[in-house]
């Protein structure tokens, strides 16, 4: 994992947190993502597998799909994806295939994380693209949002 790019990562992670809040308000697990190129957010995504009846509609996938439409192709080179929760294995593989340059995530996911918690997709030998990965940006805020969501569900 590489060092964050100063306060820039926190600024964009706050945008991802806003997407996560919207997902939670819609009854989805509160995970949000933003795709950045240069200094601009070019796509956003929020979890919506329940409302979309789509098990692949994770925040990262939604942001990658929107980014591909914005850029006119699936190769999202020179982009950074900010996501509030460590991507699962499915999302990690999609990030590699999309050629995202950099991934920044908030909370670690010890049950399903594909960036080192249960597996590290980004370190698999033989992949034709490498993603620079950094976790833990605004980790407490990202984790708290998830914890509060699940605590309400249990009550």
Which residues lie below 8 Å from residue 9, measured CB to CB, with a gap of 6+?
A: 82, 104, 134, 137
Please say whether the beta carbons of 58 and 51 come within 8 A. no
Residue among 19, 60, 62, 86 flagged as catalytic: 60
- Spatial distance between the Cα atoms of 47 and 29, rounded to a whole number of angstroms: 6
Active site residue 60: yes
- Spatial distance between the Cα atoms of 147 and 130, rounded to a whole number of angstroms: 31
145: closest CA among 5, 1, 22, 9?
22
Q: What is the dihedral of CA 46, 83, 10, 101, to 10 degrees?
A: -130
As annotated, the active-site residues are: 60
């Amino acid at each position: 994992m590489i060092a964050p790019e100063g306060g820039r990562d926190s600024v964009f992670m706050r945008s991802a947190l806003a997407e996560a809040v919207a997902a939670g308000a819609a009854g989805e697990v509160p995970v949000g993502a933003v795709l950045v190129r240069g200094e601009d957010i070019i796509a956003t995504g929020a979890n919506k597998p329940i409302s979309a009846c789509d098990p692949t509609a994770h925040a990262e996938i939604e942001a990658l799909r929107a980014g591909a439409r914005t850029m006119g192709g699936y190769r999202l080179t020179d982009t950074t994806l900010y996501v509030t929760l460590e991507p699962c294995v499915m999302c990690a593989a999609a990030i590699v295939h999309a050629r995202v340059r950099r991934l920044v995530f908030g909370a670690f996911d010890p049950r399903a994380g594909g960036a080192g918690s249960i597996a590290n997709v980004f370190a698999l030998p033989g992949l034709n693209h490498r993603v620079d990965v950094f976790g833990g940006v605004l980790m407490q805020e990202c984790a708290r949002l998830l914890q509060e969501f699940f605590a309400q569900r249990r009550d």
